[in-house]
Chain A
Amino acid sequence: MSRHATRWVAYASPPNLYRLAGRLVPWFATSAGLLLALGVFLGLFVAPTDFQQGDVYRVLFLHVPASWLGMWLYLLLGFYAALGWIFKARSSSMMAAALAVTGAMFTGLSLATGSLWGRPAWGTWWVWDARTTSTLIPLFLYVGFITLQSAIDDPRRTDRAGAVIAVVGLVNVPIIYFSVQWWNTLHQGATIRVAGETTMPGSMLTPMLIMVAGCWVYAIAVVLVRLRQLIHRRESIDGGLHGS
C-alpha cells in the first residue's frame, strides 16, 4: 500500500511528470483522433435527420461535449490549483495553468456553437437565458485566471495568486449559477425554451457520447502537452531537467 502510494507521489516531481506526460501524450492524441473521426462520421452521416430541426441539430455533437468540458475543466482547474496551493506542489499548480486555456477554448466553443445553432433554431444569435449566461460568466473567470497568471513574472507568485483566484471563483460558481437562475425567473420575457428533456434515440446518443469521449481525450492530450512545455520552461531555468 505505502509502496504504491510512494510510486504515485513520485509523479508529483516535475521531471518524473514530464517523462510520464511524454509517454502518455501519443496514446491520448491517437485515441482522440480516432474517436473524434468516428464521432464526426457517425454524427454527420449515420445519425438520422431530426424531424423537427432538420440537419441543424447536428451542431449538438460538438456543442454538448464543449459545454460539458468547459464546465468540468474549470472544476478540475480549481481542484489542481487548490492542491498546488495547499501542498505547495508545483506540478499541481502547473497542471491548473495548463488546463486554463483548453477550458476557456471549450467554453468559447460552446458559446459559439450554441449561437450558430440558435440562429436557425430560434431565429436569434444570442438569448440572455440562464444557460447561456451561466456559460458566459465562467468564460470570464477563465480569462481572469489566464490574464492574472500571465501578468506575474515570478513562478511561485503566479501559482499561488492563480490558486487564490481559482478557488474564489470555484466557491462563487454555484452562487453565480443560482443568481443567474433567480435573475432569469425574475425577467421572464423570452418565450424561447432551450430543449426540454427529450429522450434521445440511440442513433443520436451514441455519436454524442463518442464525441464527448473524444473531446475528453483530446483535452487530456493537449493539457499534457502544455504541461510539458510549462515544466520545460520552468525547470530548465532551475537546471533540474537536464539529462532526461
Chain B
Amino acid sequence: MTVLSQAGLIRWLVWRDVTLAWRRRSDLAGALVFFVLVVTLFPLSVGPDTRLLRSIAPGIVWVAALLASMLCLGRLFADDFADGSLEQLVLSPQPISVIVLAKVFAQWLVSVVPLLIAAPLIGLQFGLPRGMPMVLTASLALGTPVVLLVGAIGAALTLGLRGASTLTSLLVMPLYVPTLVFGTSTVQATLSGLPLGADLRLLAATFVVALVLGPWAAAAAVRISLE
C-alpha cells in the first residue's frame, strides 16, 4: 500500500468528500435553500421599505450565510464518525489537522460556494447599489471559511454526544462575533462610501488566524472525541 503525501491526502480527501456529497444532492442544496429562505423571511417580517431593507441587508445576508454555513457542521465529521472511517483516517501517518483542513475545504466547496453565487442576486433583491453585491460576496468568501474552520472545533468536540448540533452552535456562535463584525462592517463601510481597505483586511486577518489555529484545535478535539 502506498502512503499518501500531505498534498496527496488533501487531494484524495477533498475528491472523496465532494463525490460523497454529489451522490446525495438533496443534502447539498440544503444550505443554499436555507440561506435563501431565511433572507426572504426578513422583508416579510420588517416590511418592504426599500431604504430600511438596504440598510439592514449586509447584516441580514451575513447572519443568514453564517447560519446556513453552520448547518453543514453537523455533517463535517459525524458521518465518518458513525461508520468508523474517521478512525481509519486518523490512523494515517499525516497529521489530523491536515485531514480537518481537507474536510473543511471540501465541505466549503459543496455547501458554501453555491451560497456565494446566490449572494449577489440577494444583494440585488435588497436594492444594494452597483458594485456592492460583489463586495458582499467577497466578504462572505473570506468569512465563511472562518465559520467552518472554527465550527469544526465545535463539531469535533461534540462527536457522538446527544444533541450534538445544538451544542455545537452554542459553543461556536460566540466565537463568530469578530467574523460577523468585520464581515458586515466591510459591506457597511463601502455602503457609506468609505474605502474598502481596513475592514476587509481585518476580516482577512481573522481568516488567517482561523486557518492556522482552527485545524490544529479541531485536530485536538477529534483526538479527544475518538479516545
The answer to whether B227 touches A156 (Cβ under 8 A) is yes
Given contact pairs A143-B170, A160-B224, A168-B217, A182 touches B185 in the complex (Cβ within 8 A) = yes
Closest to B227 in A: A157
**A141, A143, A156, A178: the one within 8 Å of B178 (CB):** A178
Contacts of B158 in A (CB 8 A): 148, 151
Quote the shortest CB–CB distance from A107 to chain B (angstroms). 12
The answer to whether A179 touches B181 (Cβ under 8 A) is yes
Question: Does B221 touch A at the CB level, under 8 Å?
Answer: yes
Question: Does A183 touch B at the CB level, under 8 Å?
Answer: yes
Contacts of B150 in A (CB 8 A): 168
The answer to whether A179 touches B225 (Cβ under 8 A) is no
Question: Does B84 touch A at the CB level, under 8 Å?
Answer: no
Given contact pairs A148-B158, A148-B171, A164 touches B224 in the complex (Cβ within 8 A) = yes
Distance in angstroms between the alpha carbons of A239 and B23 in the assembled complex: 52
The answer to whether A140 touches B174 (Cβ under 8 A) is yes
Quote the shortest CB–CB distance from A151 to chain B (angstroms). 5
Contacts of A169 in B (CB 8 A): 174-175
Given contact pairs A151-B162, A151-B163, A180-B181, A161 touches B206 in the complex (Cβ within 8 A) = no
How many chain-B residues does the 8 Å CB contact rule pick out? 31
The answer to whether A172 touches B188 (Cβ under 8 A) is no
Quote the shortest CB–CB distance from A180 to chain B (angstroms). 7
Contacts of B154 in A (CB 8 A): 165
Question: Does B173 touch A at the CB level, under 8 Å?
Answer: yes
Main secondary structure of the interface of A (DSSP, over half): helix
The answer to whether B182 touches A182 (Cβ under 8 A) is yes
Contacts of B189 in A (CB 8 A): 186
The answer to whether B157 touches A165 (Cβ under 8 A) is yes
The answer to whether B220 touches A164 (Cβ under 8 A) is yes
Task: Give the size category of A's interface with B.
Answer: 20 to 34
**B163, B175, B181, B206: the one within 8 Å of A183 (CB):** B181
Interface string of B207-227 (1 = CB under 8 A from A): 001000100010011001101
Contacts of A24 in B (CB 8 A): none
Could you count the A-B residue pairs with CB atoms below 8 Å apart for me: how many are there? 78
Distance in angstroms between the alpha carbons of A157 and B182 in the assembled complex: 34
Distance in angstroms between the alpha carbons of A197 and B22 in the assembled complex: 60
Contacts of A147 in B (CB 8 A): 167, 170-171
Interface string of A140-171 (1 = CB under 8 A from B): 11011001100110001100110011011101
Contacts of A175 in B (CB 8 A): 178, 206, 209
Quote the shortest CB–CB distance from B205 to chain A (angstroms). 9
Question: Does A109 touch B at the CB level, under 8 Å?
Answer: no
Question: Does A222 touch B at the CB level, under 8 Å?
Answer: no
Question: Does A137 touch B at the CB level, under 8 Å?
Answer: yes
Contacts of B175 in A (CB 8 A): 168-169, 172, 176
Contacts of A143 in B (CB 8 A): 170
Contacts of A160 in B (CB 8 A): 224
Interface string of B175-209 (1 = CB under 8 A from A): 10110011001001100000000000010001001
Distance in angstroms between the alpha carbons of A164 and B185 in the assembled complex: 30
The answer to whether B185 touches A186 (Cβ under 8 A) is yes
Distance in angstroms between the alpha carbons of A22 and B182 in the assembled complex: 48
Q: A168-B153, A175-B178 are in contact. List 10 more A-B contacts (CB 8 A).
A: A137-B177, A141-B174, A151-B167, A152-B161, A165-B153, A179-B202, A182-B202, A183-B181, A183-B185, A186-B188
| Contacts from A to B (Cβ < 8 Å) | 137-138, 140-141, 143-144, 147-148, 151-152, 156-157, 160-161, 164-165, 167-169, 171-172, 175-176, 178-180, 182-183, 186
Q: Which 10 A-B pairs have the closest CB atoms?
A: A179-B178, A140-B174, A179-B181, A183-B181, A144-B171, A160-B224, A175-B178, A161-B157, A176-B177, A151-B161
Offer 12 A-B interface pairs, CB within 8 angstroms, sorted by A: A140-B170, A141-B174, A147-B170, A148-B157, A148-B167, A164-B157, A164-B217, A164-B221, A168-B150, A180-B177, A180-B181, A182-B185
